[in-house]
Amino acid sequence: MVVESAAARATLLERYAAGEVRALSRAITVAESGGPEAQALLQGVRALSAQRQSAQWKRPRVIGLTGSPGSGKSTLTSALISHLRSAGQTVGVLAVDPSSPFSGGAILGDRIRMLAHHADPGVYVRSLATRGALGGLSGRSMAVLSVLEGFGFDVLLIETVGVGQSELEIASVADHTVLVLTPAGGDGVQAFKAGIMEVADVLVVNKADLPGAERLGRELRAAQMLAPHDEHTFFPPIVQTVASRDEGLSGLLEAVQSHRDHLGEAGVERRRLERARSELRSLMWQQVAARAEQASAELLADMASGRLSADEVARMLLRS
C-alpha cells in the first residue's frame, strides 16, 4: 500500500493542480493502491474538480471503447488519439489490460500499440490491470478515472479488455459507450441480443474493408428496429471504420457528438451521478466480501451443520 503523509499529499495535490505529469502518475498510483490514503487523495482531487467547474472549467468527454478481443479496439484508440490531437485536443487514455498470471500486473499490450504517441506532451496513456475483476474494467478504474478527469484533458478514452455478452461495467463509467464489432465477429442479429449491445451508444463496424461489413451494418439496423421503440427512441448510430488506415474517425466522433446532443447536459450529469453510484456499489461489495473472508471456522461450521443459517451469519458479520 502506498502511504503518503498529509504534507506530502498536499504537495502532490498542488503539483497535480499545476499540471505536472509526474504528479498525475503518482496520484494514479496512490489511487490504485486503495485504502485511507487513496480516499483522502481522491477527496482532494474531486474537490479541486468541483472548484474548477465553478470557474467554468469544462469536464472532459469520457468515451469508452469496448468489444470482443481482436475487434481492433487498441488500433482504433490509437487512431482516435491522432485524430483528436490533429484537432488540438489533449487526450488521456486509460487502457485496461489483462493481468499477468505471474505478477498480477498489467500485460501492456495496449500501451505497446500506442507507442507512437509516447513523446506527445498532449497525450497521457496509463495501463491498468484487471486483477481478476470482471466487467471489462479494473476494480480501481473509477478512482483512476477521477484522477485523470480532474487533470484537465479535453477527452478521456477508456479501452476495456476484450468482453463478451454480459460485461456492462463500461456503460456505468463512460459518458458515451462505443461498441466495436468486426464483420468476422458472427451474426449481427444474434450479437444484438447480448447485453453489451443494449448499452452501446455508438456501434462501430471496424475493419470495414473486410467482406461482410455492409451485411453486418444492415443486420444491426434491422435488429434495432425490432427492439421496442417510439418516436423518442435514440438509435445508436452505426459507423464504419478502418482504424489501421485512419478511415471513418470523423464519422465516429460525429456519432459521439450526436449522442451527447441527445443526452443534453442534464443527461450527461445523470450519467455521472450513476458513475458515483456504481463506484459506491463497487466499494461496498469489496467491503462485504472482506467481511465474508473474516468469518471464523466456528461460524462456517455452524452454518455448514445447520445450527445457523447463512442469513444469520451474514447479519452477524455485517453488524461486527
pLDDT at 101 over 50: no
Pairing state between β 155-159 and 61-67: parallel
Candidates 65, 88, 84, 90; CA nearest to 76 is 65
Please give the average per-residue pLDDT across 110-133, as a whole number: 73
| Inter-residue contact 32 to 128 (CB < 8 Å) | yes
**Helices marked H in 59-120:** 73-86, 109-113
CA distance readout (Å), 43 to 54, 104, 239, 274? 17, 27, 39, 18
Candidates 88, 95, 26; CA nearest to 63 is 95
Spacing of C-alpha 93 from chain mean position = 10
Query: b/e for 51-84, b at 16 or more Cβ within 10 A?
Result: eeeeeeeebbbbbbbbbbeebbbbbbbbbbbebb
Name the average pLDDT for the chain: 82
pLDDT at 113: 59
Distance CA 147, CA 218 (A): 40
pLDDT at 114: 66
Residue of 27 and 137 predicted with greater confidence: 27
Q: What residue ranges in 122-265 does DSSP mark as E strands?
A: 123-129, 155-159, 176-181, 202-205, 238-240
pLDDT at 109 over 90: no
Residue of 273 and 223 predicted with greater confidence: 273
Rounded to two decimals, the pTM is 0.83
SS3 for 130? Answer: coil
pLDDT at 319: 86
- Write the pLDDT tens digit of every residue in 85-100: 999 999 999 988 654 4
Using the structure block, give the residue that is written with the C-alpha cell 497521457. Answer: 124
Q: Which of 23-32, 41-50, 247-256, 291-300 has the highest mean pLDDT?
A: 247-256
What is the helix (H) or strand (E) element at residue 91, kind and residue range?
strand 91-97
